[in-house]
Amino acid sequence: MEDISFKELLGYSIKGEETAYDAYMSIAENLSGLPADRFQSLAEEELDHKKKLLDLHDHEFGDKKYIVPKGEGFPPHEGDFIEIDTEKLSSFIEALESAIEAEKNAYELYYDLAKKRENHSELFNYIAVMEKGHQSSLEEEKEMYEEVLKNKGEDASIDKLDLPKSE
């Protein structure tokens, strides 16, 4: 990662937040009730991260037109989700596993940026802490759904869970 410029890392991070937003919204749109609310909330937080990073890009480079670098050498991307079938609870748990890994990767990226970019360490530490919080809450949710799956069986449907509906 040392060979990658700050501008490239920033563009990469902005795109990662955008992709994470799209992935979380896609999941939310295929769910209902509290699970849908949860993923929509995550999406909105990812969008907030993107806005903060775009503001930093504007401050550093004079515009918000970021470049998404291509090639090898980049850390795992936060937006690297697998496609899921949100009808089956087992597939939903797989999505949670992917999201947990993505949030872990994002935390590590922002934590590393905070150490390397001391003049922007507050922003990168803030986003790192938010990503760590996403990871932790998703791990808790995954454990809860695994318990439900164990009790209801492999063919359990998310919509048939006894979860409260959002208002």
For the residues 58-78, what does the mean pLDDT come to? 82
Please tell me the CATH superfamily of domain 6-74+85-152, with its number: Ferritin, core subunit, four-helix bundle (1.20.1260.10)
Q: Where are the domains of the chain?
A: 6-74+85-152
Q: pLDDT for 100-133, tens place per residue?
A: 988 998 999 999 999 999 999 999 999 999 999 9
For the residues 67-84, what does the mean pLDDT come to? 67
Structure-block tokens of residue 124: 């990168």
pLDDT of residue 167: 53
65-70-72 Cα angle (round to 5): 140
Q: How confident is the model at residue 31 (pLDDT cuts 50, 70, 90)?
A: confident
Q: pLDDT for 149-167, tens place per residue?
A: 788 776 666 655 555 555 5
As a whole number of angstroms, the distance between CA 159 and CA 48 comes to: 29
As a whole number of angstroms, the distance between CA 77 and CA 143 comes to: 24
Query: Could you tell me which of 111, 133, 105 has the C-alpha nearest to residue 20?
Result: 105
For the residues 27-44, what does the mean pLDDT come to? 87
Q: Is the pLDDT of residue 85 over 60?
A: no
pLDDT of residue 134: 94
Axis crossing angle, helix 6-29 with helix 89-116, rounded to the nearest 10: 160
- Higher-pLDDT residue of 4 and 113 is 113
Tokens 């802490």 map to which residue? 129
For the residues 30-48, what does the mean pLDDT come to? 89
pLDDT of residue 63: 95
Give me the chain's average pLDDT, please. 83
Q: Is the pLDDT of residue 93 over 90?
A: no
Residues 43, 29: contact at Cβ < 8 Å? Answer: no
First to last CA, the chain: 45
As a whole number of angstroms, the distance between CA 34 and CA 20 comes to: 19
Q: What is the pTM of this model?
A: 0.84
Among the residue ranges 4-8, 30-34, 98-102, 121-125, the one predicted with the least confidence is 30-34
